[in-house]
Amino acid sequence: MVIRILYMNGDNAPLGQHWVAYLLRRSPRIHSIVGRRIEAARAEEADSDSIWEFLELYEAIQRRLGVQLRDTYNIDETGVALGACNYTRVITSASKHKADVQSLEDREWVTIIECISADGRALHPVVIFKGNHVLLSWFEPQSLPE
């Protein structure tokens, strides 16, 4: 993108190896931060109004039904893309402290499912690999079911 902007402004000189560092030094209004991967659909739909609306509705239902902490569980699933980097350096406004980077969806994934209750009890996580066969070397002998 930088090369395209320079070209459109008549500058065809190649960029130097440290051009990003020099740009950041000359431009106090921007800086680099580490961006984390986020699914495109989640990035587009996550806004503070939607989150607050959900939390208010959830708390109202919890109060109305008398749901206790010991009966409240959170189950979370996360995928780990094999061969993908989780963090990428991003150039952005100096006022920003985080950046989300949309990810490509064409990688093989390992799925991890975890569960914890609101009073702190945790279940063992489940790790799901794609494959046709299970290898015994993936498990510790004492963790295998009878």
Task: Give the per-residue pLDDT at 107.
Answer: 65
Structure confidence at residue 37 (pLDDT): 73
Percent of the chain with pLDDT over 90: 22
pLDDT the model gives residue 57? 95
Task: Report pLDDT digits (tens) over 105-122.
Answer: 566 778 999 999 988 899
Residue 90 phi, psi (nearest 5): -125, 135
CA dihedral 12, 17, 19, 24 (to 10 degrees): 170
Chain-centroid distance of CA 115 in Å reads: 18
Question: What band does 29 get if pLDDT is binned at 50, 70 and 90?
Answer: confident
